[in-house]
Structure 1
């Protein structure tokens, strides 16, 4: 997008989305603290005035990105076709949908979560509630799979759910912190699928995988 097009000629929705996408890329490449409003304006193809027309501050942009991400509906975990799957395949679908987020260039949600909750940030309760909801979804699915003999039952569902999310966020953070680790964005899906398939799934000749 070029500033020569004139940001005022674009719809508000297009401008707002450009700001959020540009900001996420800046936060990913430079970190929140080192990113300026001018950096975001340049990345979005707008003026600083265009940024402040939609957002009062860099912090509001960050918090908007986080709140957009915290909407569990965007993952489609409750889609009918997902809920119809047996537990072990449903768990795999959950992992696939989370991994799709890992491969998006410029995504840095775990780092933003940490920065937004540092020093008594206002987002802590919302972020904790998000992780609690994810853990509950994964834990109940794992418990169902264990009862059906489709998932390994050597650890508690709660511990396994926490481990899944910790590994997922760990991959994301590693891809954020250094250009030498960016390949994890493209490899993250395969890493998660292979690791958890071998760790959690009971291998049976008649088990669909």
Structure 2
């Protein structure tokens, strides 16, 4: 078997740069082959390293996966609290939240919920992932309630159930997008979300583009 060679100058790079390169390579492998079918050698080949180079920075494939998930779940990366987002009317803020989730939970057409599901099936990262979704539900429910008070979203809906339904729909669309590009989140999925928001949440007079 031909062994992969480390990139020239690899050892001279800062440690964080080396780790980030490994994480990027692993992410593409996990998304293309799935976590279980990806080997450490696959990650090494994708990163242009030896297996020893991988193990120098990470103890196992599982540690790489968990680090990726922790990065995905970092609340700050979504910018929900940025001034330009907070300045939006609540119903448009809700749309912006979905936009940011779509753009930052996906990498080259592949989505992190698949990785979340694979991890929790093994009993890993469940607490962290559930905490992330709980935080999203609270944020969405709060925003929906504000929109109801402003007369933009139907008042007879439960903000909490509406938030959970919206997130369930969003995750389902992401997973379908991961299965087939004919169901791409940025095209077909976007249209499904638009129909849901306009017909199920927003009042008829609102015409909100997403």
Same fold (TM over 0.5): yes
1:12 CA drift (Å): 1.7
TM-score relative to the length of structure 1: 0.87
CA distance in 1, matches of 2:195, 2:25: 33
1-side partners of 2:47 and 2:191: how far apart?
32
Partner of 1:124: 126
Unaligned stretches of 5+ residues in structure 2: none
1:85 aligned to 2:88?
Answer: yes
Which residue number corresponds to residue 75 of structure 2? 72
Equivalent position of 2:45 in the other structure = 42
After superposition, the Cα gap between the structure-2 partners of 1:63 and 1:165, relative to the gap in structure 1 and judged at 3 Å, is same
Give the TM-score of the pair, scaled to structure 2.
Answer: 0.86
1:167 corresponding residue in structure 2:
169
**Stretches (4+) displaced over 6 A:** none
Deviates more, 1:68-77 or 1:107-116: 107-116
Within 5 Å, give how 1:171-182 maps onto structure 2: 171-176=173-178, 178=179, 180-181=180-181
Match of 1:203 in 2: 204
- Bigger RCO of structures 1 and 2 (CA < 8 A, at least 6 apart): 1
Separation in 2 of the partners of 1:99 and 1:90? Answer: 14
List alignment gaps of at least 5 residues for structure 1: none
Q: How far 1:6 moved relative to its partner? A: 4.2
Aligned with 2:49: secondary structure?
A: coil
1:107 Cα deviation from its structure 2 partner: 3.8
Assess, with a 3 A threshold, how the Cα gap between structure 1 residues 186 and 88 changes in structure 2: closer, same or farther. Answer: closer
- Tell me whether 166-175 or 63-72 shows the greater mean CA deviation: 166-175
In structure 2, what is the equivalent of residue 144 of structure 1? 146
1:49-68 maps to which residues of 2 (within 5 A)?
49-68=52-71
**Cα contact 1:105–1:185 (8 A) shared by 2:** no
Distance in 1 between residues matched to 2:190 and 2:105, nearest whole Å: 8
- RMSD over aligned Cα, in angstroms? 2.3
